[in-house]
Structure 1
Amino acid sequence: MQTSPANAKILIVEDDPEIGKLLALAVQENGMIATVAEDGHVMNSLMRNNEFDLIILDVMLPGEDGLSICRRVRAERTTPIILLTALGEEIDRIVGLEVGADDYVTKPFSPREVVARIRSLLRRASYGLANTTVQRKLRFEGWQIDPLRRQLHDPSNARVAVTTTEFDLLLAFCRNPGRVITREELLSLTHTGLAGPIERSVDVHISRLRQKIEADPKNPVLLQTVRLGGYMFTASVDQAS
């Protein structure tokens, strides 16, 4: 589901009532709709009956933890996910990205920063919808990527769930096949802006992307690393009819 930040529906999964209220207020003050769930069980119930444009998910939750929830949701949906974590070390943030989060915010945080990251992810999720003339479907090795609907289908035509960042990266590669793209260029081409991943996390997102499109992710053929350069997409890409 694609929408503008002005009317976006945000699901906040946070067991601390004060933090939940703080986030909900910040979201509502910026014209978005906030729903708060205190744990994964309540979240599951809400998601069965509602569609949300973005999820803010605390890592430390009672019962099922946020990383497990993130992994489970990502296997079924492409909804952007921002993790809230009190863990400040890079390794913990990278683990969050590896299970499918699009971004993360470390506690204590500024509500203003969270809103800025929400807006950035929502803009990326709907990027280019107004200009449909450049949003033609692209094909490579039997795969099909649809920039307008932001969907990826495998050679059997089954839809493959990808994160906002993974989709942006793959689209950038499909639009620049056979060219070495540096990490800095990828940050620019994917319109990551304020919520953009650090360089290390670009590698993590690409690793996840390889898990989905490569026959052997440990020996990638389509998406190759170029030493001291960046990455290159080797597949032949053409426009789908």
Structure 2
Amino acid sequence: MAVATILMVDDETEIIKLMEIYFTNENYRLLKASNGLEALELLEKNAVDLIVLDVMMPTMDGIEACMRIREKNHIPIIMLSAKSQDIDKISGLSVGADDYVTKPFSPLELVARIKALLRRVNHFQTTRKKNEDEIRIDGLVINQASHVVTIDEKIVKLTPREFAILLLLAQHAGKVLSMDQIYEQIWQDPIMESKNTVMVHIRKLREKLETNPQNPRYIKTVWGIGYKLEGESEVDHDV
């Protein structure tokens, strides 16, 4: 597992020195800043996994720094503040912070909050990557990374060429592709016997995908033009 880099922004050097001990024990890499402006400068030059950001600091306080950070990225942020009123917590969270810890705090509690937040972020990124690899159309799921196809959660075994045709149609779901277009994209050859070749592969695909190939649920024929893949598309793009 890669070492997480924590940027801690606080003008109280004793707090940073104390947390450095705990971060070292957790194998975290620590970057240190004493105000929001320094933090922004460090972010321009370093990859950071999580920010611990104090509210009350000179030059640029944590609230302004948080707003500036959120203009460019979504790095998880934990706010620190000596104030415990609900309005201060709301202010910190409303400008983009993910969590809030009140001073004085237990170093172990802060480490626990950091671990929990990093776990949530890692889980989200893993799930997002998985979703980006998948195209979902009305019970049909095509995983572009693993080349696994399922219909209503049942695996459908396809040849590499059948998978390529299905993926091409899915990537253009709802749009009609001519036999020539399909042939050119999949075979990467000059058009020769495109009509018969594509028709044979579409027939085999339907036999594997469709409950009733004569009345297909997915691959529709548009007479005189070509084929299209229908269904309510659930392709997962950036969130």
Query: TM-score normalised by the shorter chain: which range applies?
Result: 0.5 to 0.7
Partner residue, 2:67? 71
RMSD value over aligned CA atoms? 2.6
Q: Structure 2: which 5+ runs fail to align?
A: 136-231
Aligned pair partner of 1:91 in 87, 90, 98: 87
Alpha-carbon distance, 1:90 to partner: 1.2
Aligned pair partner of 2:55 in 56, 59, 62: 59
- Large movers: runs of 4+ above 4 Å: 128-134
Separation in 1, partners of 2:46, 2:76: 15
Partner residue, 2:119? 123
Separation in 2, partners of 1:133, 1:53: 18
Separation in 1, partners of 2:75, 2:125: 17
Question: Per chain length, whose mean CA-contact separation is higher, i.e. which structure has more relative contact order (CA < 8 Å, sep 6+)?
Answer: 1
Residue identity in the other structure for 1:119: K
Partner residue, 1:14? 10
Aligned pair partner of 1:82 in 73, 78, 81: 78
Question: Would you say the 8 A contact 2:77–2:99 is kept in 1?
Answer: yes
Aligned length: 141
Separation in 1, partners of 2:72, 2:100: 20
Partner residue, 1:114? 110
Alpha-carbon distance, 1:240 to partner: 3.7
Residue identity in the other structure for 2:112: A
Separation in 2, partners of 1:55, 1:64: 15
Q: Which has the larger radius of gyration?
A: 2
Matches within 5 A, 1:26-37: 26-37=22-33
Query: Are residues 125 and 88 of structure 1, via their aligned partners in 2, closer, same or farther at CA, if it must alter by over 3 Å?
Result: same
Question: Would you say the 8 A contact 1:12–1:34 is kept in 2?
Answer: yes
Deviations 1:98-121 (A, max 9, x none): 000000110010010101111111
Query: In structure 1, the residue corresponding to 2:75 is in which secondary structure?
Result: coil
Separation in 2, partners of 1:133, 1:40: 32
Partner residue, 1:45? 41
Query: Are residues 81 and 237 of structure 1, via their aligned partners in 2, closer, same or farther at CA, if it must alter by over 3 Å?
Result: farther
Q: Structure 1: which 5+ runs fail to align?
A: 140-235
Alpha-carbon distance, 1:49 to partner: 1.0
Question: Would you say the 8 A contact 1:24–1:36 is kept in 2?
Answer: no
Question: Would you say the 8 A contact 1:138–1:237 is kept in 2?
Answer: no
Deviations 1:76-126 (A, max 9, x none): 111000000111011110111100000011001001010111111111111
Query: Are residues 132 and 13 of structure 1, via their aligned partners in 2, closer, same or farther at CA, if it must alter by over 3 Å?
Result: closer
Separation in 1, partners of 2:128, 2:54: 36
Separation in 1, partners of 2:128, 2:85: 41
Alpha-carbon distance, 1:45 to partner: 2.2
Query: Are residues 66 and 237 of structure 1, via their aligned partners in 2, closer, same or farther at CA, if it must alter by over 3 Å?
Result: farther
Separation in 2, partners of 1:87, 1:99: 17
TM-score (norm 2): 0.54
